[in-house]
Amino acid sequence: MAKKDETKEVKDLKDLGEAVKAEDVKAEASVKNDKAEDVPVKRVQTLDKQGRAYATGRRKDAVARVWIKPGSGKVTVNGRDQATYFARQTQRLILNQPFLIVNSVGKFDVVCTVKGGGLSGQAGAVRHGISRALENFDPEMRPALKKAGMMTRDARIVERKKVGKHKARRTKQWAKR
């Protein structure tokens, strides 16, 4: 009789496992409802005294401080025009992507300072900062920018070098004979 009870328990445990999973899902749903996460966050326009929206953008080791205001579309990076600071066309395209997404090319003047990293990381940091500043200027732009992935900080960074290796993963050359 003990064997019959054990097999019955195993079947019951499988059923119990499914029931527990279903209860966990229900419990998580009830916790989310209790926390007021269902209420959408009301975003408001944030401007300084000069009518500029400010934001910080980051990519790799680069950090960009960005101010945007309505204007003719002039972009200044560290006191220089974007064409002289970012010599490559691809870097300028990366920088202007947020404006293309929200159909506002040539409508905002951008002044930014960027430090750290290389030119590619700096272009990504300025793009991130422009996206966040556009959201601060007009919260209605957020869904389009979010869908395009402009609001998310790219968390990929350089992997650290390990002891006994040339780089992060590059090992010493090994000869069989």
Residue range 49-105, pLDDT digits in tens: 898 999 999 999 999 999 999 999 999 999 999 999 999 999 999 999 999 999 999
What average pLDDT is seen over the chain?
84
Report the alpha-carbon angle 78-82-88, nearest 5: 120
Please report which confidence band the pLDDT of residue 15 belongs to, taking 50, 70 and 90 as the band edges. low
- pLDDT for 73 equals 92
pLDDT at 36: 55
Task: Tell me: pLDDT of 119 over 90.
Answer: yes
Maximum pairwise Cα distance, the chain: 87
pLDDT at 37: 60
Percent above pLDDT 90 for the chain: 71
Rounded CA-CA distance 98/138 in Å is 13
- pLDDT at position 10: 45
Higher pLDDT, 150 or 8: 150
144-167: average pLDDT? 94
Pairing outcome for strands 108-115 and 62-70: antiparallel
Instruction: Look up the pTM and report it.
Output: 0.74
Say what percent of the chain tops pLDDT 70: 78
- Domains of the chain, CATH where assigned: 53-147 (3.30.230.10)
Tokens 């003990």 appear where?
A: 2
Q: What's the average model confidence in pLDDT over 18-44?
A: 58
150 touches 127 (CB < 8 A): yes
